[in-house]
């Protein structure tokens, strides 16, 4: 965090300062901010938020023992540390993030990019951060820090020398992106796609579209919206941008996109394509598996070139990215039995993309195996969307389909109904049962996709399989 006095922090969060003896309103703090006492280091600021399972106020002493010099609390606690008492610790976290980023933007030199979309946010964030970090100090979220706590924590990592802030914005409900993006008013807003992820919570894909458009509405006037020309719901956001004095830069596969891809080819070693950037044709070879990651790369290139990075530099840096993120198309195991662990998140779009990638990277002398779990947050659409994935797995001629968990049982029934009658599809109630089966079922030459939403827990099954066949 940038250096601030206790008085400045208290003013930013609207709290009452209670300094310990030896400190005053003019005491300067510049350490990292966190809500997890285990992550606090010397000089750090601990925000004691209340959670569903525990209360951060119980861990103030632990944070102090780890080096915290300030605690932001909702009520005074008996601890030997300066405290700022606020009404709501999570709101205070956002207020402090707004102040820090606003201060550095006013000082000049800080450029801010916001990214949202039903799929691909974390991968695109990582790709863009990789491009930008060679241009100057870049702050980007750890893992998927994109909610009301994670996004402000990322913003608070900005320092006096930070040149780029890349923020990822998830949407738990309508208005969530507007609130988070409104903290920083990005210079560039990237919208990747509008799909069925979280559609159950929003009440349908039209509501999801409105939620994602909140990022475009938050881009500062005179800024830039980077939009997916291939997605009609994203493309429709151009009118919102123009009404607000925000320019539009398109990415996609069609001829009208300023940044587009052609000649996409996928195999087990990665993904190749030709990237056309403002008329220049450049070959790109991604080590990341999956044709769907080409669109993420295009979005990153569109944003980076708008920020002044040369197209060839974007290409060169993207080619060094070995993994999108842990549990996202992560190769495990060995050449004998290759495990692809993509079980951190799943939506109908990402599930279909992963299955198609499995089909593309498996040679005729190898066998495809799909280990699939439930997709979360689909609400009333869950049944039909699980049906579609089960049917797609059969249509892709995947000879072994392993469905795991009661919430995914309709996927199994749909696969059987589609024509998987000769034991191609099997069902297991638990990941442990599936693991025991796969230990004896998998053989040399198998290419195994493990895919589910985070809640299904199959990412750990993928890790176990990776270790067993390494």
Q: What is the pLDDT of residue 273?
A: 96
Q: What confidence tens digit (pLDDT) does each residue in 360-389 have? A: 999 999 999 999 999 988 888 899 999 999
Task: Name the pTM for this structure.
Answer: 0.87
**Edge-to-edge strand ranges of the sheet holding 280-286:** 138-139, 164-168, 111-116, 188-191, 224-228, 247-252, 259-267, 270-277, 280-286
Mean pLDDT, rounded, for 279-285: 94
Task: Answer whether residue 201 shows pLDDT above 60.
Answer: no
Phi, psi for residue 272 in degrees, rounded to 5? -115, 150
Helices 311-318/292-306 angle, 10° precision: 140
Task: Answer whether residue 276 shows pLDDT above 70.
Answer: yes
Q: What is the pLDDT of residue 199?
A: 58
Q: What is the pLDDT of residue 54?
A: 86
> What is the DSSP code (8-state) at residue 6?
H
The residue count for the chain: 470
Q: What is the pLDDT of residue 291?
A: 87
Task: Answer whether residue 464 shows pLDDT above 80.
Answer: yes
Specify which of 159-173, 291-305, 312-326 reaches the highest per-range mean pLDDT: 291-305
Q: What is the pLDDT of residue 12?
A: 98
Q: What is the pLDDT of residue 205?
A: 81
Q: Centre a 10 Å sphere on the Cβ of residue 251 and count the other Cβ atoms it contains.
A: 30
Torsion of CA 32, 128, 293, 118, to 10 degrees: 60
Mean pLDDT, rounded, for 18-28: 96
Give the pLDDT band of residue 197 (cuts 50, 70, 90).
low
Burial class (CB within 10 angstroms; exposed 0-12, middle 13-18, buried 19+) of 322: exposed
* Residue 314 host element (H or E): helix 311-318
Distance separating alpha carbons of residues 470 and 467, to the nearest angstrom: 5
Mean pLDDT, rounded, for 184-198: 88
Q: What is the pLDDT of residue 421?
A: 58
Give the pLDDT band of residue 422 (cuts 50, 70, 90).
low
Q: Are 337 and 348 in contact (CB under 8 A)?
A: no
Using DSSP's 3-state secondary structure scheme, residue 130 falls into helix
Distance separating alpha carbons of residues 48 and 93, to the nearest angstrom: 10
**Edge-to-edge strand ranges of the sheet holding 367-372:** 330-333, 338-342, 446-451, 367-372, 400-404, 425-428
> What is the DSSP code (8-state) at residue 120?
-
| Exposed e or buried b per residue across 443-455, where buried means at least 16 C-beta atoms within 10 angstroms of its C-beta | eeebbbbbbbbee
Task: Answer whether residue 83 shows pLDDT above 90.
Answer: yes
SS (H, E, C) 236-266: CCHHHHHHCCCEEEEEECCCCCCEEEEEEEE
Q: Are 153 and 145 in contact (CB under 8 A)?
A: yes
Distance separating alpha carbons of residues 358 and 363, to the nearest angstrom: 10
Cα angle, residue 324 at apex, residues 319 and 327 outer, rounded to 5°: 150
Pick the closest to residue 15 from 45, 51, 54 (CA basis). Answer: 45
Mean pLDDT, rounded, for 45-57: 91
Distance separating alpha carbons of residues 415 and 181, to the nearest angstrom: 41
Task: Answer whether residue 446 shows pLDDT above 90.
Answer: yes
Cα angle, residue 230 at apex, residues 371 and 298 outer, rounded to 5°: 80
Mean pLDDT, rounded, for 99-119: 94
> Where is pLDDT greater, at 297 or 145?
297
Distance separating alpha carbons of residues 250 and 243, to the nearest angstrom: 17
Task: Answer whether residue 200 shows pLDDT above 60.
Answer: no
Pick the closest to residue 184 from 139, 144, 142 (CA basis). Answer: 139
Long-range CB pairs of 259-263, under 8 A, 24+ apart, other chains included: 259/298, 259/301, 259/302, 259/305, 260/229, 260/298, 261/294, 261/295, 261/297, 261/298
> What is the DSSP code (8-state) at residue 398?
-
Q: What confidence tens digit (pLDDT) does each residue in 140-185 have? A: 998 777 889 999 999 999 999 999 999 999 877 789 999 999 999 9
> What is the DSSP code (8-state) at residue 34?
E
Which residues, including other chains, have CB under 8 Å from residue 80's CB and lie 6 or more apart? 20, 64
Q: What is the pLDDT of residue 267?
A: 86
Task: Answer whether residue 311 shows pLDDT above 80.
Answer: yes
Domains defined for the chain, CATH in brackets? 4-88 (3.40.1390.10), 109-318 (3.40.1190.10), 330-468 (3.90.190.20)
Q: What confidence tens digit (pLDDT) does each residue in 337-366 have? A: 999 999 988 889 899 999 999 999 999 999
For the chain, the average pLDDT equals 93
């Amino acid at each position: 965090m940038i250096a601030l006095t206790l008085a400045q922090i208290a003013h930013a969060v609207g709290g009452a300062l209670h300094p310990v003896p030896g400190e005053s309103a003019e005491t300067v703090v510049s350490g990292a901010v966190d809500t997890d006492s285990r992550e606090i280091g010397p000089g750090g600021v601990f925000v004691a938020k209340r959670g569903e399972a525990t209360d951060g106020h119980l861990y103030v002493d632990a944070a102090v023992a780890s080096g915290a010099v300030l605690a932001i609390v909702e009520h005074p606690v008996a601890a030997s540390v300066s405290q700022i008492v606020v009404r709501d610790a999570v709101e205070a976290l956002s207020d402090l993030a707004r102040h820090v980023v606003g201060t550095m933007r006013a000082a000049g030199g800080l450029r801010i990019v916001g990214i949202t979309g039903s799929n691909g946010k974390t991968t695109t964030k990582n790709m863009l951060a990789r491009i930008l970090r060679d241009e100057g100090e870049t702050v980007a979220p750890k893992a998927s820090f994109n909610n009301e706590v994670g996004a402000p924590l990322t913003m608070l990592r900005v320092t006096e020398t930070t040149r780029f802030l890349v923020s990822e914005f998830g949407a738990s409900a309508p208005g969530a992106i507007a609130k988070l993006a409104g903290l920083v008013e990005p210079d560039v807003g990237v919208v990747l796609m509008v799909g069925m992820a979280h559609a159950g919570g929003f009440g349908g894909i039209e509501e999801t579209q409105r939620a994602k458009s909140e990022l475009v509405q938050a881009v500062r006037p005179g800024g830039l919206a980077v939009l997916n020309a291939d997605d009609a719901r994203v493309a429709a956001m151009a009118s919102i941008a123009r009404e607000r004095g925000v320019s539009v830069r398109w990415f996609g596969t069609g001829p009208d996109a300023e940044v587009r891809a052609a000649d996409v080819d996928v195999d087990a070693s990665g993904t190749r394509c030709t990237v056309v950037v403002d008329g220049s044709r450049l070959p790109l070879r991604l080590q990341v598996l999956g044709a769907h990651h080409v669109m993420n790369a295009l979005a990153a290139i569109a944003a980076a070139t708008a920020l002044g990075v040369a197209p060839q530099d974007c290409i060169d840096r993207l080619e060094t990215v070995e993994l999108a993120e842990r549990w996202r198309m992560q190769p495990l195991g060995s050449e004998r039995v290759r495990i692809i662990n993509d079980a951190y998140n799943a939506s109908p779009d990402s599930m279909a993309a992963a299955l198609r990638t499995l089909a593309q990277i498996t040679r005729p002398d190898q066998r495809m195996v799909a280990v699939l779990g439930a997709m979360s947050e689909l609400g009333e659409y869950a049944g039909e969307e699980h049906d579609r994935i089960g049917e797609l797995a059969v249509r892709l001629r995947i000879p072994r389909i392993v469905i795991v968990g009661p919430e995914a049982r309709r996927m199994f029934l749909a696969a059987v109904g589609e024509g998987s009658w000769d034991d191609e599809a099997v069902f297991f109630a638990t990941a442990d049962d599936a693991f025991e089966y796969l230990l004896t079922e998998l053989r040399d030459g198998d290419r195994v996709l493990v895919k589910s939403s985070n809640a299904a827990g199959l990412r750990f099954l993928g890790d176990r399989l990776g270790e067993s066949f390494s």
